[in-house]
Amino acid sequence: MSDTKQPVAFIGLGAMGFGMATHLIKQGYPVTGFDVWPPTLEKFTSAGGLTATTPASAVADKPCCVCMVATAQQAQAVLIDGPNAAALALPQGAVLLLCSTVPCDYVQSLAKQLSAIGRPDIHLIDCPVSGGAARAADGTLSIMAGVPSEEALGKSKPLLEELADPAKLYIVQGGIGAGSNMKMVHQVLAAVQILAASEAMGFATHLGLDLAKTNEAVLNSDAWNWMFEHRTPRMLTNYQPVASATVIIVKDTSIITAEARRSGFPTLMTSVAEQVYFSAVGKGYGADDDSGLVRLYAEGKGKVGPVQGAAGSDEERLALVIGLLKGILLCSAAESLAFADKVGLDLDQVFDLCINAAGGSQMLKKYGPSIIRAFREGKATEGWSAAESETSLKEVADGLFAAVEEAQRLKAPVFLGSQALNVIRLALQSSSAGVAAGAVVKVWNSNSMEKAFRPHFFNHGKPDANPAEKRNCHWCQIRSFATHTELPISITNKEDDAFLNPSFRFIDHSVIGKNVPVADQSFRVGCSCASDEECMYSTCECLDEMAPDSDEEADPYTRKKRFAYYSQGAKKGLLRDRVLQSQEPIYECHEGCACSKDCPNRVVERGRTVPLQIFRTKDRGWGVKCPVNIKRGQFVDRYLGEIITSEEADRRRAESTIARRKDVYLFALDKFSDPDSLDPLLAGQPLEVDGEYMSGPTRFINHSCDPNMAIFARVGDHADKHIHDLALFAIKDIPKGTELTFDYVNGLTELESDAHDPSKISEMTKCLCGTAKCRGYLW
C-alpha cells in the first residue's frame, strides 16, 4: 500500500463498529462514519473521524465501505431500502465489507439485490467478525471472509488485514455466504458457552462456594473456556461494564436455530440456550450485559425450602462445577463441528478459528481433532474407542451425572447440564464400552444415506455375502478400483433422503458398446523411444500431430519439446498454458509404447490424480468436490461411460422420458470427425459416450457457465482417435471443498441469442449454475 490510505466509509458505530472505525483512524485512514445515534457521532468526531447524516453521503466517493450494524434488517435498510441507502451511492468498483452477523441466505440475497439494482460492480465481501470491543479497537479481530472472486479478495484484503489479527483472518472457501456460515458455527459455541458460564457460577452459588475461588479452579482445569474467562469478572462486579448486551446473543442464537430448522439439523444444545435467553429478555435483562444471566440461576437460592447437598467438601463441590462444564463444553464442541460439516465448511479451518477465538475451550482443543478425523474416516455415525490415555465418554458422563444429581438435590437449575447429560446418554446407549468422549458427535450425525450403505458395511465383508448384491453395491464398486486406498471416492448426502440410483454402476474405464467399430490390430502402433525423456520431444512418434512448443529452446540436437505438459519446476506435470487456452487435442504415449508407465507423457493414462467426493447439492441434485487443492492445469479424471454409435444414442434419446435430460449424460466423440477423412472410422458419424447408467465420479459433475474445469480430447494410440478420451483438466486453481464444474456446451454463443428468441425459449433447458456469467439456458 502507498503511504496515503484510501478513504473509508463506516456504517454502524456501536461497540464493535466504533472500535473498528477508530482503529482505522489510528492507522491513518480518513474515515467517515454514519450512525443513527447522534451522541455516537459526536464521540466519533472527538476521536478524529468525519461524520455523515445519511448512509449515501457517508459512502460518496469512498472506494471502501464497512457495514457493521446489528441485524440483517438494519443492513437492508442502510444499504438497499432506505431513502438515502448506500448501495447506489457507492463509486464504481467499490468494496463493501459486510461485517455484521447475519444469516447466510441474507448475504446471498444481498449480492443478488446489488445486481438487480444495476450494481454488480460492487465487490461484496461476506466477512463477519468475532473478538469483542477491545480487540476491535486494537485491530486484532477474528474475521471470516467469504469472497466472490480473486479480484474482490485483492481489493478487500488490505482493509481486512488492518482490522484482523494476522493469524486470524480466515478466507473461507465457498464464496458469498460461507463467511456467515463460519460465524454461525462459531456462535454455536459462543451461545452455549456464554450461558454455561452463568450456569456454572449459579450452580456454585447454590453449592455455597466462593465465586472467586470457583473462577480460579475452572480456569485451571479442562473446563476452561474463553467465555467463562471473560464473563466471570463482570459477574463479580455487578455485571459491569456492559460489554455485550444479551439481545446480541439472542439475535445470533436465532440465526443458528433458524438455519438449523431450514437444513434439518438438530441444535440440541443451542435450542435450550435460546429458550433461556428468551426468558432473560422477558425478565427485562435484554439490554444488560450477558454475564448478568447468572441471576436466572442464583435468584432461586433459598426460596424452595430446606435442601441438602451430598458433597462434603469444597474440593468435591468444585469438582461438580468442573464436571458440569466439561459435559456442556463437550456437547457444544460436537454440535458446532457437526453443524459445520452439515453446511459444508472445512472442519480444519473451523477448528483453527474457534480454538483461537471466543468459542475456544479446552474440551474443543482436546476432542475436536478426533471428531474431525471421525468425519473424514466415516466414523462419525458409529463412534470409536478411546485411546489408552484418552478420557472415555462414560467418564465425562459420570462427572456430569454427579453434578446434575447434586443440582436436583439443591433445586438448582442446570438447563444446559441436564440436556448435555441426555445427549451423552443417547450416545452411550448405542455405543460399546470404552467409547471415546468425542464419539458423542454421533447423536448429531444422522446420515440420510445410512439405509443405502448399511448392507455394504455390515454384510459385504462376510464370506457368505450375496455376490449379486455385492456386484450392485456402489461402495463395493468404488473400493474395487486400484486407486481406492490412495485416492478414495466418497458419497455423502446432508440435504435430503436421496441416494444414488441403484441401477447406476461405477466403472474405472469406458465400455465399448454393441456395433462400435474398433481399429484393426495392424493399425496399432506405439513409440520406440529409448528412454522416457525422449517422449517429450518431436522424435517421439506419439507426438507427430502435436504442435511444437515455442516457449522452450531447442536442445543441442535441434529437438523441440512437443508434449502437452510442463517438464520441470513447480508446474511439472501440469498442462501447458498454450494447450489450456487453445483446448487443442492432447497426444500421449500408451500401453503399446516402448516407454515405461512412469513416462512423463502418460498423465491421463495413469488415471485420476485426486480424491473426489460425490455430494448432494441444495438445488442441483448431485455434485462433485475435491477435499484437496487442485492446481490450474492439473488432470483430474476422465468422463467415462458406454461408448455407443450415433444411431444408438439417437434411439436412447427418443426413448428417454425427457430427451433433453438424456443429453446431460451423452457426449459426442467428435473432435476428429471429418466426412472427408480417408480414415473410415473418422469419416462416419461420431460415436458418443453415455454415462447415465455406468460411469465414474465425473458423471455427477454439474454444469457451470463459469466453470473451473474443461474437457480435452486425449489420444493414446492414434488408431483410436474415434474413441478418444474425454479428459477433465482444471482451468484455474480450485481450492479444496469447491464444487467442480465444467461447461456442458463449452460456451456456445448461439445459446445466448436463442435465449432471446421467444419461439425457442419454451424448448430450452434452464441453467441453474447461478454464476454471474450464467447464460440462462443450457440448450
| Nearest alpha carbon to residue 504 among 641, 659, 650 | 641
Quick one: angle between helices 246-263 and 104-116, nearest 10? Answer: 80
As a whole number of angstroms, the longest Cα–Cα distance in the chain is 103
Distance CA 646, CA 144 (A): 51
Distance CA 15, CA 525 (A): 75
Active-site residue identified among 106, 297, 744, 777: 744
Mark whether 277 is an active-site residue: no
Residue 701 DSSP class = P
What sign results for the dihedral spanned by CA atoms 20, 26, 29, 35?
positive
Contact of 133 with 19, CB cutoff 8 Å: yes
Q: Which amino acid, 255?
A: I
Contact of 115 with 148, CB cutoff 8 Å: no
What is the Cα 245 distance to its own chain's centre?
A: 31
- Measured CA to CA in angstroms, residue 762 lies from 435, 657, 768, 773 at distances of 58, 17, 16, 21
User: What are the residues whose beta carbons fall under 8 Å from the beta carbon of 395, sequence distance 6 or more?
Assistant: 437
Active-site residue identified among 297, 587, 639, 777: 639
User: What are the residues whose beta carbons fall under 8 Å from the beta carbon of 756, sequence distance 6 or more?
Assistant: none
Distance CA 269, CA 726 (A): 49
Q: Which three cell numbers, joined as nine digits, stand for 410?
A: 439443591
- Measured CA to CA in angstroms, residue 253 lies from 102, 190, 422, 484, 659 at distances of 11, 9, 21, 41, 47
User: What are the residues whose beta carbons fall under 8 Å from the beta carbon of 774, sequence distance 6 or more?
Assistant: 705, 706, 767
Cα angle 404, 410, 415 (rounded to 5 degrees) comes to 45
- SS3 assignment for 570-598: HHCCCECHHHHHHCCCEECCCCCCCCCCC
**What number of residues does the chain have?**
779
Distance CA 736, CA 734 (A): 6
Number of Cβ within 10 Å of residue 295's Cβ equals: 17
Mark whether 587 is an active-site residue: no
Contact of 713 with 726, CB cutoff 8 Å: yes
Contact of 585 with 645, CB cutoff 8 Å: no
Distance CA 522, CA 355 (A): 65
Distance CA 721, CA 741 (A): 25
Contact of 420 with 327, CB cutoff 8 Å: yes
Number of Cβ within 10 Å of residue 434's Cβ equals: 14
Q: Which amino acid, 289?
A: D
DSSP string, 512-533: E-TT-----GGG------SSGG
Q: Which amino acid, 369?
A: P
> What are the residue numbers of the active site?
639, 744
